[in-house]
Amino acid sequence: MNLSVIWGEAAEVDQTLKTSGGEMLEQLQQCQNERHDLNVILKTVAQDSRCSLCPDHWLWWRGHCYFFSFELEENRKWKESAEFCQQHNSSLAVIKDSAEMDFLQEIMEESIQCPFLWVGLTDSKQEGRWLWWDGMDVQHYMPITVEWDADHRDCADLRGGRNLFAADCEEYGPWACKRKS
């Protein structure tokens, strides 16, 4: 085989690679442009209040919207907190599983202004019988107890370490509302 033929074939292969490589780069650039355009559209749609799953200042998590009062509202008594939630088509948070408990704890940890949260748990109807806002027993959704139970402490708050504590309902504090999205 002649050396010039080999060089000619090598040049053709090189040109083919350059052409296909150039086409691939062009296709890659086109894909990147389309991705950018889609991201812009998605961001625009996501910011449109008509497409929001939850109202302003509410967080979406696992099919529910949550409102955390700290940094947005003044602290309230338990009953006033519950009334606020009802006025916003929700209730004080009923914690139904450990994942939800972890979610609430994570939100609390992110805020230095939140040592505890009022939740939808009380024994005001019968002393020592803790019921969630939906009427279920405290143990119904997961094994958990309320610490510091006493006659004058009829409302529960959530604190760090996944702990629920009995508290005086007349104390002021932050709260968490929950509703379906």
Task: Provide the residue-wise pLDDT of the chain in tens; the chain has 181 residues.
Answer: 565 655 566 567 666 666 666 677 777 677 677 776 655 565 555 455 556 899 999 999 999 999 999 989 999 999 999 999 999 999 999 999 999 999 999 999 998 778 899 999 999 999 999 999 999 999 999 999 999 999 999 999 999 999 999 999 999 999 999 999 9
Do 107 and 146 belong together in one domain? yes
Do residues 67 and 155 lie in contact, with contact meaning Cβ atoms separated by under 8 Å?
A: no
Do 78 and 161 belong together in one domain? yes
Do residues 96 and 178 lie in contact, with contact meaning Cβ atoms separated by under 8 Å?
A: no
Do 166 and 77 belong together in one domain? yes
Distance CA 55, CA 60 (A): 9
Distance CA 106, CA 2 (A): 74
Do 31 and 92 belong together in one domain? no
Alpha carbon distance, N-terminus to C-terminus of the chain: 75
Do 64 and 43 belong together in one domain? no
Examine the fold and report which residue of 12, 28, 51 is the final residue of a domain before the chain moves on.
51
Q: Quick one: which H or E segment has residue 32?
A: helix 3-47
**Domain interval for residue 32:** 3-51
Do 73 and 38 belong together in one domain? no
In this structure, is the dihedral angle defined by the CA atoms of residues 160, 100, 180 and 112, taken in order, positive or negative? positive
Do 95 and 47 belong together in one domain? no
Do 75 and 13 belong together in one domain? no
Q: How many domains does the chain have?
A: 2
pTM of the model: 0.72
